[in-house]
């Protein structure tokens, strides 16, 4: 099964330039990871909650998925594809790569 992927810098350019349209960004990490740092543009749906919260996801819009390093989000992308969501895109490298390009400050 082919999962669309996007490089973090290209993704961030699209976020910053507001060219993602009506797409959604879903962060599949756990709440404690989200609390540490996250993208304001994203919505938190932890990986384990995705099966129960698929009704919150658009079937006719792009869904960008992020996690810590891109592994969990890839699994969620595969799961969503198997369940009828065709417009899923995994952000390569996850929040670690995004943080590198965005320059997040850590406390």
- Predicted pLDDT of residue 99: 87
* H or E segment and range at residue 54: none
Q: What is residue 104's predicted lDDT score, i.e. its pLDDT?
A: 56
Q: What pLDDT does residue 30 have? A: 98
Q: Which residue has the tokens 């749906």?
A: 45
- Catalytic site positions: 67
Fold of 4-102: Oxidized Rhodanese; domain 1 (3.40.250)
Q: Is the overall model pTM greater than 0.75, yes or no? A: yes
pLDDT of residue 100: 86
Q: Which residues of the chain have pLDDT under 70?
A: 103-107
What are the φ/ψ torsions at residue 82 (nearest 5 degrees)? -65, -20
């Amino acid at each position: 099964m082919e999962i669309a992927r996007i490089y973090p810098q290209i993704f961030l350019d699209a976020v910053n330039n507001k060219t993602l349209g009506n797409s959604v960004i879903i962060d599949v990490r756990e709440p404690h990871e989200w609390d540490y740092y996250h993208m304001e543009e994203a919505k938190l749906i932890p990986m384990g909650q995705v099966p129960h919260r698929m009704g919150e996801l658009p079937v006719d819009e792009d869904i960008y998925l992020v996690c810590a390093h891109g592994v969990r989000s890839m699994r969620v992308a595969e799961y969503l594809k198997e369940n009828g969501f065709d417009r899923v895109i995994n952000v390569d490298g996850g929040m670690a790569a995004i943080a590198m390009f965005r320059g997040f400050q850590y406390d």
